[in-house]
Amino acid sequence: MENILKDKINNLEKAIRKTENIAIAFSGGIDSTFLLFMSKKVLGNKNVIAITGNSFAIPERELNFCKERAKELEIQHIVVRTSEFLEESYIRNDRMRCYFCKISLFKMIMSYIPKTYGVAVGTNADDALMVNDRPDILAEKEFEILSPLRETSFYKSDIRQASKFFGIDIWDKPQTTCLATRIPFGNIITQDKIKMIAGAEDILAENGFKGAKVRHYGELAKIEVHREHVALLFNLGSIDKLVKEIKSIGFRYVAIDLEGYRTEGSYLKAEDAKQNSCRTQC
């Protein structure tokens, strides 16, 4: 392990040790999984709580992973049903959607966690660079949520490398985001849309395309797999069967994005570029 990463790990352990008692907002992604592992390593399992929001927009497989991993680590795990779907500010799905979602989540967490515990999230240093595309970070600041990985300059690549070193088996797990990110801004979020997205992504995962995303454009399902897997998708002998299964969920059309998977932030930048171009031409 490189000395730079060793220093970051030492700094992370110091930051965690300051809290004495910590509650991790545990989503099952590599960031919060690594933070949960390190918190137990530093504070012991008696001083760590994992708390997971059971949202309609979180795939069931991720919730199950959280339950299993917390059990393996012998850490108290609290699962709370979130209520963001009751908030108009969330379901209208504008660019502040993640802010309203996190506000709802943090309020819920605070009602379950003892006041002696600090609440921490797995936000990393890469996320801090995209603060304009991450309104959820504003919610973190408002609720004084701890962000040890970001504060100790842990980038995603550092987290993966350190996770591999410590033998965390999901060190190479694809990035996971809530299913609401598959619905374009300005289109309201409904539970029916979320169900369709979850079903389509489960079909892709069962066919070997883990981490694939399905964007919901009304009657159209747009498939995004990692770019190196696009050719594999076309070469799949059972692609007709795959399309038929996705259509059976309720989609009328199925498309494949030749550019592969992109983050929501990249969509935002593309939209901003389009608007700026329009302003210039006008």
136-161 average pLDDT score: 95
Is the per-residue pLDDT at 277 higher than 70? no
Is the per-residue pLDDT at 173 higher than 70? yes
Residue 141 neighbours by CB distance under 10 Å: 9
Decide: helix, strand or coil at residue 169: coil
- Summarised one tens digit per residue, pLDDT across range 95-143 is 999 999 999 999 999 999 999 999 999 999 998 777 667 889 999 999 9
Torsion sign across C-alpha atoms 25, 27, 28, 34: negative
Can you name the residues that pair with 24 across neighbouring β-strands? 50, 120
Q: What is the pLDDT of residue 271?
A: 47
pTM: 0.86
Q: What percent of the chain has pLDDT over 70?
A: 91
Q: What distance in Å separates the CA atoms of residue 219 and residue 23, rounded to the nearest whole number? A: 41
Classify residue 184 by burial, with Cβ atoms within 10 Å: 0-12, 13-18, 19+.
middle
Give me the chain's average pLDDT, please.
Answer: 89
Domains defined for the chain, CATH in brackets:
3-165 (3.40.50.620), 179-268 (3.30.70)
223-249 average pLDDT score: 87
Q: What is the pLDDT of residue 48?
A: 98
73 within 8 A of 44, measured Cβ to Cβ? no
Question: 280: pLDDT confidence band, cut at 50, 70 and 90?
Answer: very low
107 within 8 A of 80, measured Cβ to Cβ? no
147 within 8 A of 121, measured Cβ to Cβ? yes
- Summarised one tens digit per residue, pLDDT across range 54-94 is 998 998 989 999 999 999 999 999 999 998 998 999 999 99
